[in-house]
């Protein structure tokens, strides 16, 4: 096995662990909510605290790797992740659980951007579709198996095993990093710590504001937190313009391919994370499904995504990104809209079709975004783009969950619980189509096509 594929295996293993951590833990949230006596809007912080750990460490990961070396950084990241998983599984109260999940996020956030930049940099631009296919295959396998396995663990043992079950995988990945990664160091500038604080505080304030509003703790406090988050975001933009080497190089978003792909991740995986979380609560608490039965829905999602991804991978170089993005957005939104018709009388057939459609749209959209996002970057700019890409990926999951939890809780104050879920699914389907307004920027203009033919 060549060195670049060994590096790719370690990165993909870390990515697999991260995906398992997101989808398997979501299945356990209803049980965690009941056992620890917390609301639906509060239990989302089991995921949000993990995202905040990622937010803090992802922008620092490449700098840490430049000091300690990629091998040591990737190995230690999985050790920290394992410690966080162990402590999360042993937690006896909500505060300690969210704290240890934060530690898990710090561990996961070290490996993924370092591994992705290292892996992608070893493949030429015309070969990156191949590695993107491998990345998306992992992104499908994890959601396919982890919810069903997680549901079985919850039903037959305890939600704690959802976290403890990650430990063997993360320790094996740590060992492979130690054995396979070369002991090399690179150079990097001192990180922008002020910018890091602003980015972390911005996300914390926005997520806390949405959670407080959803939990009806205090509208004044919630609005104050949301306003604080907006002010901090604007403060970071001001700081970014004045800083020669900002913690997040937002200039990579000016690249049309990168900018649109980032938007796609909020419209497809981001929205789906929130929709799937609501679907889990709806199926278990309203329709009375078990955790195992709920987890099997993701097998359908993965099946649809796998078929769509294989088709999209073959068509990417023939028809380009724009038609694939259009197809993915439409299929994904149609699947979410079907969830609004699910009830106790005719739930299963609609759920099967809905998850197959969401999977098909998600597979096309996410894999196309993964291939498209960093096509135009190399060397240091590739590392910067990788940091922004991975941070955006994690933030999209967290924002999607917080936004739609807030939405369904607000709607429950005006209508029945079933209608609240149905209306939220319809709104989510509409929001998922918004990137269509900017799709035109990816369509090659006639002048550029003529230039390509001449050259």
* DSSP symbols for 15-65: HHHHHHHHHHHHHHHHHHHHHTT--HHHHTHHHHHHHHHHHHHHHHHHHHH
Give the chain's mean pLDDT: 82
| pLDDT bucket at 433, cuts 50 / 70 / 90 | very high
Residue 284: per-residue pLDDT:
86
Q: Is 83 exposed, middle or buried (0-12, 13-18, 19+ CB in 10 A)?
A: middle
In the chain, % of residues over pLDDT 70: 89
Residue 186: per-residue pLDDT:
61
Higher per-residue confidence, 216 vs 79: 79
What is the Cα Rg of the chain in Å?
21
In the chain, % of residues over pLDDT 90: 18
| pLDDT bucket at 346, cuts 50 / 70 / 90 | low
Q: Is the four-CA dihedral 423, 428, 431, 436 of positive or negative sign?
A: negative
Residue 379: per-residue pLDDT:
67
Q: Under CATH, to which class is 3-183+247-441 assigned?
A: mainly alpha
C-beta of residue 425 within 8 angstroms of C-beta of residue 295 = no
| pLDDT bucket at 86, cuts 50 / 70 / 90 | very high
Work out the average pLDDT over 331-356: 88
Work out the average pLDDT over 57-75: 82
| pLDDT bucket at 452, cuts 50 / 70 / 90 | very low
Round to whole Å and give the CA distance between 264 and 232.
24
Residue 421: per-residue pLDDT:
92
Round to whole Å and give the CA distance between 309 and 316.
10
Q: Give the helix ranges, DSSP H, for 69-127.
A: 70-89, 94-121
Residue 450: per-residue pLDDT:
40
Residue 87: per-residue pLDDT:
94
C-beta of residue 274 within 8 angstroms of C-beta of residue 403 = yes
Round to whole Å and give the CA distance between 431 and 73.
38
Work out the average pLDDT over 153-170: 88
Q: Is the pLDDT of residue 187 over 70?
A: no
Round to whole Å and give the CA distance between 370 and 68.
28
Residue 126: per-residue pLDDT:
61
295-322 pLDDT, tens digit each: 788 888 888 888 887 777 678 778 878 8
94-145 pLDDT, tens digit each: 889 989 999 998 888 788 778 877 777 777 666 666 676 677 677 667 766 7
Enumerate the domain spans of the chain. Answer: 3-183+247-441, 192-235
HSE-CB of 391 using CA atoms within 13 angstroms: 25
Structure token pair of residue 38: 């917390």
| pLDDT bucket at 446, cuts 50 / 70 / 90 | very low
Work out the average pLDDT over 257-273: 89
DSSP 189: P
213-249 pLDDT, tens digit each: 666 556 788 788 889 989 998 998 888 888 877 877 7
Report which of 402, 406, 31, 29 is spatially closest to residue 215, judged by C-alpha positions. 406
CB neighbour list of residue 297: distance below 8 Å, 6 or more residues apart: 147, 279, 283, 351, 355
Q: Is the pLDDT of residue 160 over 80?
A: yes
Q: State how far the alpha carbon of 161 is from the alpha carbons of 82, 108, 157, 369, in Å.
A: 13, 18, 7, 33
Work out the average pLDDT over 173-193: 77
Work out the average pLDDT over 351-365: 91
Round to whole Å and give the CA distance between 102 and 49.
5
Residue 124: per-residue pLDDT:
67
Structure token pair of residue 275: 């929709």
Residue 184: per-residue pLDDT:
67
Work out the average pLDDT over 332-356: 87
The DSSP-derived string for 145-177 is HHHHHHHHHHHHT-THHHHHTTHHHHHHHHHHH
C-beta of residue 77 within 8 angstroms of C-beta of residue 14 = yes
Q: Is the pLDDT of residue 250 over 80?
A: yes
Q: Is 445 exposed, middle or buried (0-12, 13-18, 19+ CB in 10 A)?
A: exposed
C-beta of residue 360 within 8 angstroms of C-beta of residue 303 = no
CB neighbour list of residue 378: distance below 8 Å, 6 or more residues apart: 121, 125
Q: Is the pLDDT of residue 380 over 80?
A: no
Using H for helix, E for strand and C for coil, what is the string for 289-336?
A: CCHHHHHCHHHHHHHHHHHHHHHHHHHHHHHCHHHHHHHHHHHHHHHH
Report which of 309, 323, 22, 266 is spatially closest to residue 143, judged by C-alpha positions. 22
Structure token pair of residue 199: 């980015």
CB neighbour list of residue 411: distance below 8 Å, 6 or more residues apart: 419, 420, 423, 424
Residue 129: per-residue pLDDT:
63
């Amino acid at each position: 096995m060549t060195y670049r594929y060994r590096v790719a295996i370690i990165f993909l293993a870390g990515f697999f662990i991260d995906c398992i951590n997101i989808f398997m833990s979501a299945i356990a949230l209803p049980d965690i909510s009941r056992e620890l006596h917390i609301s639906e809007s509060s239990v989302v912080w089991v995921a949000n605290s993990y995202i905040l750990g990622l937010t803090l460490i992802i922008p620092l990961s490449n700098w840490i790797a430049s000091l300690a070396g990629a091998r040591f950084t990737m190995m230690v990241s999985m050790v920290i992740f394992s410690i966080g998983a162990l402590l999360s599984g042993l937690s006896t109260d909500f505060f300690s659980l969210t704290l240890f999940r934060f530690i898990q996020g710090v561990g996961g956030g070290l490996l993924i951007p370092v591994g992705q930049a290292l892996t992608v940099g070893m493949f030429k631009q015309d070969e990156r579709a191949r590695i993107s296919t491998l990345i998306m295959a992992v992104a499908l396998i994890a959601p396919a198996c982890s919810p069903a396995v997680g549901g079985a663990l919850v039903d037959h043992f305890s939600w704690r095993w959802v976290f403890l079950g990650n430990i063997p995988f993360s320790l094996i990945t740590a060992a492979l990093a130690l054995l396979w990664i070369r002991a090399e160091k690179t150079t990097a500038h001192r990180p922008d710590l002020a910018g890091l604080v602003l980015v972390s505080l911005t996300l914390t304030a926005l997520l806390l504001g949405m959670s407080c509003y959803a939990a009806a703790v205090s509208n004044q406090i919630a609005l104050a937190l949301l306003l604080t988050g907006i002010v901090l975001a604007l403060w970071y933009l001001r700081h970014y313009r004045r800083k020669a080497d900002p913690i997040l190089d937002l200039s990579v978003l000016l690249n049309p391919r990168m900018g649109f792909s980032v938007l796609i991740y909020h419209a497809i995986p981001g929205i789906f994370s929130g929709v799937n979380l609501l679907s889990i609560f709806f199926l278990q608490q309203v329709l009375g499904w078990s955790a195992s039965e709920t987890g099997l829905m993701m097998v359908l999602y993965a099946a649809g995504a796998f078929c769509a991804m294989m088709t999209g991978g073959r068509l990417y170089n023939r028809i380009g990104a724009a038609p694939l993005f259009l197809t993915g957005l439409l299929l994904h939104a149609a699947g979410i809209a079907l969830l609004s018709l699910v009830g106790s009388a005719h739930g299963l057939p609609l759920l099967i079709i809905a998850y197959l459609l969401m999977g098909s749209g998600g597979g096309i959209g996410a894999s196309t975004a993964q291939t498209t996002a960093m096509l135009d970057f190399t060397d240091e700019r590739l590392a910067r783009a990788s940091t922004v890409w991975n941070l955006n990926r994690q933030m999209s999951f967290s924002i999607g969950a917080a936004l739609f939890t807030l939405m369904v809780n607000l709607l429950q104050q005006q209508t029945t619980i079933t209608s609240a879920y149905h209306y939220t699914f319809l709104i989510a389907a509409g929001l998922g189509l918004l990137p269509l307004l900017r799709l035109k920027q990816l369509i090659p203009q006639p002048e550029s096509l003529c230039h390509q033919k001449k050259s």
